[in-house]
Amino acid sequence: MVFLREFVGGLIYGYIIARIAMLLLPRLGESDAAIASVTVSLSYLSFLVADRYWHVSGVVSVVMAALTVAAYGPTHLHPRQWAALRQLWAQLEFWANCLIFVLASMVAANVLLNITWLYVWGVAVVTVGAFLARGLVVFGMLPVLEKTHLVQPVDKRYKAIWCGVACAAPSRSCSPWWPR
């Protein structure tokens, strides 16, 4: 019950605070810096207030706020402002990914010193599980969905490519942060 309260509370709070921000953004005029400042502040305040003061999920609140801004932004902002805001967030995403990899590399040296065969077996099990799961979806579930006309038919070449590309990802899923 606590999980449900925190999850739904985060959804509601994130939506409300983002709608307030979306009412404010068009009134900032042509200032791209002000619009960027409001959206960056929105993400920080959404997490902080939800987590510390409302005792609901801050992460869910931030995700809901981002989805709300993404849904209402194109209709509330001038196309040039929306493009500038998307470019800013793409740059922030790039910097955050770089920072995560720098921090992970700082920790990696200590982790590699303490690695045991148990970790190697764990990575192997996850890799085999990912191959099996992806194969089951591509060659098991997809044909059934195609036959029942729940999805459009997919060319076999694309299925093989998708499975091959998707099966290359398990090594990334074993890392402490999956960037994309």
Asked whether the beta carbons of 62 and 13 are under 8 A apart, the reply is no
Q: Which residues contact residue 54 at a Cβ distance below 8 angstroms, ignoring those fewer than 6 apart?
A: 9, 13
pLDDT tens-digit profile, the chain (180 residues): 999 999 999 999 999 999 999 999 999 988 999 999 999 999 999 999 999 999 999 999 999 999 999 999 999 999 999 999 999 999 999 999 999 999 998 888 888 888 889 988 999 999 999 989 888 888 888 889 889 988 888 776 766 666 555 555 544 444 333 344
- Rounded to two decimals, what is the model's pTM? 0.64
Burial zone of 167 (CB within 10 Å; 0-12 exposed, 13-18 middle, 19+ buried): middle
